A = this chain, B = another copy of it.
Amino acid sequence: MNVLKISSGVIFLSTKHIGRQSVAMQNPPSIAGHACVVGKKEGDGPLKDSFDFISEDTFFGEKTWEKAETAMQKQAFSLACDKASLNPSSIEYVFAGDLLNQCVASAYSLRDSNIPFWGLYGACSTMAEGLALSAMLIDGAFADRIAAVTSSHFCSAERQFRFPLEYGGQRTPSAQWTATAAGALVLTAQGNGPYITHVTTGKICDMGVCDINNMGAAMAMAAYDTLSAHFSDLSLEPSDYDLIVTGDLGLIGHSIVMDLFNKDKIDISPYYNDCGLMLYDRDSQDVHAGGSGCGCSASVLCGHLLNGMRSGRWDRILFAATGALMSPVTTGQGESIPGICHAVSISVNKGV
């Protein structure tokens, strides 16, 4: 029996719970298929060979950016099912969410799917949240086939969170570029991996950062907190992973996370990267501090990272997508930006 000591005493934990925030899968679910669809800018970046589809048209053939994002997400989901050799009608649940108000890209992209639907809001941590909950429901014997889907679109996000594009607002050096990208994956109870072995669920962390042009700094503490909990709960070290990737901290958040670990006398730098730094070439693509958006970590995971695991480049990855949970209204009311980070262990070996 697992036990946990808290301020009010000792409590007993359920079978799969380890420490305060982590769980271990008894029968690690397998990633049967994964796909990513991106826009032109992302397709010009260093990961261009990893995407399943690159659209030359920001509108993805639609009339508005919101409908474009919907179409992009729909395509990613369809490709992930194809690559898993599964008919979408055999998927038992889909977890989906995005950045748009009321998560409409997800609702409209899956409206005609006829699949039982769980809507999420985890901001840019959505892919980790969907992946984690999918794995837990499969390991809990509630389903055999679950999909997790998310997306973001530079143009729909800019006008919702910042300014109309036509305004031509100047971006600060700390600003990040919202990826026009969607990622989808299908998890199954049986399969040849990669497998989801552990999940560490994030708590909301707020460092008091109020600058919406510095999301990386706002989310860095959440990433540090979740990664620390993961290592502590599971008695692991950074070197137990071939690669540890945070979601979309960009240059500033990524360096804050390393600083925070350095204070604990832990050097994670040999194993640590960030999807926001991987998606674009910062020198030539004018993205300032890096990429962001639900689609950033989702497209890097569903292309570059999982392809790399399948090709033998990495055996064990810790995928820790990060999200900023504010809105323009809360920012306008002087609130600081709460961050969250969920971490998912992915391994080519079932038995870790």
Contact = CB atoms under 8 A, between A and B. Distances in A.
A335 interface: yes
Nearest to A98: B121
A212 B204 CA distance: 33
User: What's the number of copies of this chain in the assembled complex?
Assistant: 2
A108 interface: yes
A15 B142 CA distance: 7
A192 interface: no
Nearest to A205: B111
Contacts of A121: 97, 102-103, 119-121
Given A129-B119, A141-B16, A203-B116, A104 B11 contact: no
A258 interface: no
Nearest to A325: B107
A303 interface: no
A114 B206 CA distance: 11
Nearest to A145: B11
A90 interface: yes
Contacts of A61: none
Interface residues of A, number: 74
20 contacts: A6-B89, A8-B90, A12-B144, A17-B144, A66-B329, A67-B333, A102-B326, A102-B327, A103-B121, A104-B325, A104-B327, A110-B204, A111-B206, A111-B338, A118-B120, A118-B129, A120-B120, A121-B121, A136-B137, A139-B140
Interface of A: 6-8, 11-17, 20-21, 23, 63-64, 66-67, 87, 89-90, 92-93, 97, 99-104, 107-108, 110-123, 129, 133, 136-144, 160, 189, 201-204, 206, 323, 325-330, 333, 335, 338, 340
